[in-house]
Structure 1
Amino acid sequence: MKITKKPHKPKSYVLDRRLFVLNKEQWEAFNEALDTPAKKNEKLAQLLSTKSPWE
């Protein structure tokens, strides 16, 4: 019994995750979302300020 792998296309795999096309309205909404400051998250702040068990 011979096992073969399906051909892998790494370039197209990366491009699928890095390149996307937006129209003007979508682009503006995307930029607005990026420019909006993150909401304060007390639980996350507490988690990040807690000392790790291995420290």
Structure 2
Amino acid sequence: MWRKSSYSPDGNNCVEIGVGVGVRDSKAPAAHMPVSPSAWEAFLSSAKSGHFGGGTL
């Protein structure tokens, strides 16, 4: 099951996350980038700590 980003203003141009599947662009749903659960958790942890530009999630 794919979930759209809550940061997408209109729900069309966004990143979608598939638990146990990966990440895809909502404009090209046929293709996706596989991401393991541990890699996704590491990415979220880094993003929340401001590693990618100081923003907060």
Normalising by structure 1, what TM-score?
0.31
Normalising by structure 2, what TM-score?
0.30
| Higher relative helix content | 1
- Larger RCO of the pair (alpha carbons < 8 Å, separation 6+): 2
Q: Rg: which structure is higher? A: 1
| Higher relative strand content | 2
